[in-house]
Amino acid sequence: MERLLDELEGHMIVCGGGPTAMYATAELHQVQRPVVLVCPTKKEAEEAASRLPDVPLILGDPTDDNILRAAGVERAFGLIACSETDNENVVITLTGRQLNPHIRIVSRLSDVGTESKVRKVGANAVVSPQHIGGLRLASELIRPTVVTFLDKMLLDKDGSLRIDEVTIPEQSASVGKAINELGLEHVPGVLLLAVRDLDGDWEYNPRRNTTVRAGTALIFLGSPRDSKLLRERLGSDLIEPDVTV
């Protein structure tokens, strides 16, 4: 396990042993993203090992610098702070940011009033399960077919479809080209849905003569394999961290 962890680079780290952390880890694994799970208790670690046998696992306190270092935080692309308390998630976020200034951090919060605090210590984004749950309840009531469609995508055992994104890096040969010059036809499983430019403006169902620049994000529907092929074609890794701390 130590040798495997030492070899990981550009991976994801999920901190927490509860159901939300398990679901997040399972999704990252399902879409073929390298991920390490840090569980604070032996019971949670045993359950995780049973449910996610192919995911590298570390037993330890994720607020501890040494535990995050063991998970390869200094080489990681992203970190999810998913402990059961907001205070722990604030500490995990702060520790992760100190150990890796360039990592992308997403933190779980129960109290949305804590959002400004966790962002100040380094979170790029926050997620409130209560907020998401409320939106889901309303959606089930008024747009059940849409919810069924999204559930089918996410719960498909083959992991056949996801809405994903790729950001054009500065060194990509695609910079300055129009969408119809990107060779998307060579990844036929990809359906381009939208484009977001550097100014944060969105173009839905984008025109084929729209020019992409460094930092332009392409939002698309496709399989994990399609996502990998598209990233390779456009010379991009995962989404670029937007670190403003």
| Three-state helix/strand/coil letters over 77-115 | CEEEECCCCHHHHHHHHHHHHHHCCCCEEEEECCCHHHH
Q: State the pLDDT at residue 156.
A: 66
Q: State the pLDDT at residue 241.
A: 39
| CA–CA distance, 71 with 23 (Å, rounded to integer) | 19
Q: State the pLDDT at residue 238.
A: 46
- List, in order of start, the domains of the chain with CATH numbers: 2-127 (3.40.50.720), 161-234 (3.30.70.1450)
* pLDDT (tens digit per residue) in 36-63: 999 999 999 999 999 999 999 999 999 9
Burial of 185 (0-12, 13-18, 19+ CB in 10 A): exposed
Q: Is the Cα dihedral 213, 216, 219, 220 positive or negative?
A: positive
φ and ψ of 186, to 5 deg: -80, -5
Q: Which amino acid is at 36?
A: V
* pLDDT (tens digit per residue) in 97-112: 999 999 999 999 988 8
Q: State the pLDDT at residue 240.
A: 43
Residue ranges of the chain whose pLDDT lies below 50? 238-245
Q: State the pLDDT at residue 43.
A: 95
Q: State the pLDDT at residue 159.
A: 57
Q: State the pLDDT at residue 34.
A: 94
